Amino acid sequence: MSTETDIVAYIQEAEFDALLSEQKVVVVDFTATWCGPCRLVSPLMDQLAQEYKGRVKVVKVDVDNNKPMFKKFGLRSIPAVLIFKDGELAETIVGVSPYEQFSNAVDKLL
């Protein structure tokens, strides 16, 4: 069993566009180390990554290191989970939500 931090990798803005073009469905968790609610969403992202392995790519973006990316999507608060399909933003879930809200959003896109 790998450590939990390995399941969902952090990406930088430079990798983002390539990722969107390579993967059909991408789930992006905008997070920060100082954000308490983000820690509640993190295990849900790990669960999502495992449940949809091979079908959906789940990644994290540290907003402190990627402010332009955060602003680009008009986000004001975290945690914010953005779900992209075929490179287009399909769903935005802001705040702490139950796992089903994330999985249902992904199911709709598959």
Q: Which residues contact 41 (CB under 8 A, 6 or more apart)?
A: 29, 31, 79, 81, 96, 97
Q: Which of 19, 32, 35, 93 is catalytic?
A: 35
109 is known as an active-site residue: no
Q: Which of 7, 25, 26, 38 is catalytic?
A: 38
3 is known as an active-site residue: no
Helix axes 99-109, 36-51, angle to 10 degrees: 40
Which residues are known catalytic residues? 35, 38
